[in-house]
Structure 1
C-alpha cells in the first residue's frame, strides 16, 4: 500500500490582546474593536478556523469552517471543534454586558451534539445569548447551525465566573 501524501495547514496569528489594551473599555467595546480589526482576534480562532462575526448587547455570533483537518478517527469533525465554537460564542455573549475592568472565565460548559459534522459541511454559525449576568456568575445559551439553512448541529450552555481584573493588569 502506498504511503499517502501528507497535507499541511498553516495559520498565523497576532499577539493576543492584553488586559492593558482593553483597560477602561466595556466587553462589547473590546469585541467591537476585534470585529473592526483594531484589536487582534484570539489566536484560537486561527488555529481552528472560526471568527467573530457579530456582537450586540447580550449576543455574540461566530462562524467556522469545518474541514478535513478537524476529523476524528471516525471520519467526522471532532466534537471539540463544536465545543470550542460554543465556548467562544457563549463567553463572548457574557462579555458583551460586562463593564470596564470586568472579565469572565468559563467554569462549566455543556454541549449537546445532535448531528455529525462532515469535512464538507458548509459554514457553521454559532449564535449565543447571555441568559443571566450577575456580580459573580453568568450563564449563556447557544446554538450551532448551518449558516445557510439554519439546520441544527449542536446546542449548549455555559456558566462563567465573573471577575474583576487586578489593577494595572
Structure 2
C-alpha cells in the first residue's frame, strides 16, 4: 500500500447572492478575474482559475495533478465536467444583466481522450450560443494547454433566474 498524501486548501467565502445579483454577469466575472471578488469555493477546491472574460465567452485554466486521478491513473471525467460547467455557465452569465443569474439544468459532456496527470495546465473555454429570458445554451471544450489536443467538449442548458 502506498504512503498517504495530504492536500490542503483554503478559500474566501463568496458574497451573499443578494449582493452578487447587483452586478451584471460580465462585471461580476471581471471583478473575480481582477481579484476584487473571490472565486466560488468550488473553483478554489478544484484548482480552477479564471483567465479571460468576454461578452458571451470565458476561459478557465485547470490543474492536471495527481489528486484529480481516477483508479486507473487518468484524470477523472467528473473533473472535466466541473471545468466545463464553470465555463459554460460562466459564458452564459457574462451575457446576463444585473438582477439575474443562471443555474445549469443540463450538462452533456463528452470525454474524447484520456489525460494523464502532470500534462500541464488544462484550457477550458465556453461560449454562450443563446441567451433568452428564461433559457440559455452554451458550448465549450477542454484542451491540453501544452499541445492543444481536445480532451473533452460539452453543451449546456441553463435556466435564467430573476429573483423575487
TM-score, with structure 1 as normaliser? 0.93
The alignment covers a number of residue pairs equal to 164
Q: Post-superposition shift, 1:137?
A: 0.2
8 Å contact kept, 1:70–1:119: yes
Moved over 6 A (4+): none
Q: Post-superposition shift, 1:4?
A: 2.4
8 Å contact kept, 1:17–1:42: no
- Superposed counterparts of 1:1-169, under 5 Å: 3-166=1-164
Considering only aligned residues, what root-mean-square deviation do their CA atoms show, in Å? Answer: 1.0
Once the two structures are superposed, residues 2-56 of structure 1 have per-residue CA deviations (whole angstroms, 9 ceiling, x without a partner) of x422111111000122223324310000001101111100111111111111110
Report which of the two structures shows the higher radius of gyration computed on alpha carbons: 1
Identify unmatched segments of 5+ residues in structure 1.
none
8 Å contact kept, 2:84–2:140: yes
8 Å contact kept, 1:129–1:142: yes
